Chain A
Amino acid sequence: MSVKLGVPSKGRLMDKTFDWFEKRGIRLSRTGSDREYSGAVDGIDGISLVLLSAGEIPRELAAGRIHLGVTGTDLVHEKLPRWEQQVEEIAPLGFGQADLILAVPSCWADVDTLDDLDAAAAAFRARHGFRVRIATKYHRLVRDFLTDAGVADYQLVDSQGATEGTVKNETAEAIADITSTGETLRANHLKLLSDGLVLRSQATLWRSRGAACDAGEKQALAALLKRVDG
């Protein structure tokens, strides 16, 4: 058997991952047609490429079905409770930077910090009869962050896309989402809270703590780790 390396199956994340390994003398490539998710590895022995959706990589690592995987810090932290015990961070790859942030409408001139958000949420609930809605798909990360900050009287509403539009559409009062530049925020009349950075994320190479290795796989893994460390 061989060491399984999980890599995002398409787009910029896949291309940049391929580039990153190429620089370390390991050539990853997709084989067959563009629709077929199989890949090849050259330049090192005993490694096989598994192409997966970036969102599934944390789960596959935790289950030990892949030994190594490339995916964002945000996804690992959101999807794996006590992630430190399930995966080990091998190397940040220096791309795919994105911050998970909390943003409110720019017209909330009175709100700049989490402390303000908490106070505004109390007044909002008294006035509107329900808790301030924060649209996000990162439920665990955002809830842990707000619990830690002692923010009350909010509720998380699920938003799997176009999250910045939810405030204007009045399905949420605030948002927590990934942003790389902040332009989308400004275009949607939203602003960052000054202490509203939930998580700094980038594409990262992870190792599963639960994946079993036979002697051959151990050797291949050690060889690969040596290459990516250097």
Chain B
Amino acid sequence: MPQRARILERAAKLRGYFEQAGARPVETPVLQPAETLLDLYGEDIRARAYVTSDAVRGEQMLRPDFTVPVVQMHMAHGAEPARYTYSGEVFRRQEHDPDRDNEYIQVGYEVFDRTDPAAADAEVFTLIAKALSGLHLRATTGDIGLLLAAVTGLETTAARKAALMRHIWRPRRFRALLERYSGRSPVPPARAALLAASDPMAGAGPVIGLRSRAEVLARIEALRADAAAPPISEREISALETLLAVRETLPFALEHLRDVAVDLPQITPALDRLEARITALAARGVDVDNLEFEASYGRTSMEYYDGFVFGFYAAARADLPPVATGGRYDALTRALGDGGEIPAVGGVLRPGLMLTLEEARA
């Protein structure tokens, strides 16, 4: 474990590097209102972030990352376009893996720019790749936007699409929903009985609690409508499965995905964006022919990325978390923007891990 002073020194250097690239340095409070993070991530965030409280401000969290406060700051009074850099501690509970740090320094670079998203993606990726050069890390990229587009365009009911969208970042639940909507998994007996009942509320007892009888009946109506809807076609399901399994170098991945688009034409605009990104990366000197692309990458991380995603890993040190990660989070600016929105992309590095790897090589 490198000394803290050395980590801070490296962090300052990285921040200076991002300032050179045109970013304005910003600071954010360590304590974040818990409500914002809970609204975004749900109860799961409590397993990952430290919660504290006082009698006046209520629950607060030690910032688990910078992205949310930086987006809030930009949406409140940022000029456009904007580039920001920051460095400081983030805090993560590690109860399932005590060997991982629960407090570490992150340095980040975030771009809020409407003009050319592909160029902005390439800018963030190449700046971070350059800062890491010499460490011989393995880079992986992905694009959550493809899956979002594929689901949005499925030939099925709006309710099913909404349910699938809600669980994009929970792969297991997503799969279970797909199995059901495609008719592959049988209707559970209790569900079948409920749908067959002439009075589904018979024997349900008195109505207690805030969820009203009308809400229960509305959901039963929704279940009936769902049962009457035709299954999602085998053609769409298998195309979706092929899409999720794509894992090869960028040019082959693109070619493969263009084939998938024959059955899922709705992903074509997202593929055009992917192609534009490949061109933009190549223009900045990235060896795209050898850059990995994994269509499922980023689905199990914090659920705010909705487009380009990437990570840098030490191939020989599978025990270490990624040294850098990032991606596009346009939807987050919408969620926090109070009516406003702006395309945004960014990434973070961990100077402590960089030093660990350098020391191991020395």
Contacts and interface: CB of A to CB of B under 8 A. Distances in A.
Interface of A: 81-82, 105-110, 112-113, 115-116, 118-120, 122-124, 127-128, 131, 139-140, 143-144, 146-147, 149-156, 167-168, 170, 172-173, 189, 194
Interface of B: 38, 42-44, 46-47, 95-96, 98, 163, 166-167, 170, 172-174, 176, 188, 190-191, 194, 200-201, 204-211, 213, 215-216, 218-220, 222-223
B47 A144 contact: yes
The 6 closest A-B pairs by CB, nearest first: A150-B173, A112-B190, A81-B95, A106-B205, A150-B170, A110-B219
B208 A107 contact: yes
Identify the interface centre among B172, B200, B211, B216: most chain A CB within 10 Å of its CB. Answer: B211
B208 A110 contact: no
B211 A81 contact: no
B219 A123 contact: yes
Given A109-B194, A109-B201, A112-B191, A146 B209 contact: no
B96 A173 contact: no
Given A81-B95, A112-B190, A112-B191, A107 B43 contact: no
A107 B206 CA distance: 6
Contacts of A116: 191
Contacts of A123: 215, 218-219, 222
Given A113-B188, A113-B190, A143-B44, A108 B210 contact: no
A87 to B, nearest CB: 16
A149 B43 CA distance: 13
14 contacts: A81-B96, A107-B213, A108-B204, A109-B201, A109-B216, A112-B188, A120-B211, A131-B43, A147-B44, A150-B167, A154-B43, A167-B209, A173-B210, A173-B211
Contacts of A147: 44, 47
Contacts of A119: 163, 219
A17 to B, nearest CB: 29
Nearest to B159: A119
Contacts of A153: 42
Given A113-B188, A194-B190, A82 B98 contact: yes
A13 B207 CA distance: 37
Given A105-B211, A110-B220, A150 B190 contact: no
A172 B208 CA distance: 11
A172 B211 CA distance: 10
Contact of A110 (B47, B194, B207): B194
Contacts of B218: 123
Given A110-B220, A110-B223, A105 B209 contact: yes
Contacts of A152: 42, 166-167, 170
A170 B210 contact: yes
Nearest to A155: B43
Given A107-B205, A110-B216, A154-B43, A82 B223 contact: no
Nearest to A174: B209
Contacts of A168: 208-209
A144 B43 CA distance: 10
A189 to B, nearest CB: 5
B227 to A, nearest CB: 13
Nearest to B214: A127
Contacts of A82: 95-96, 98
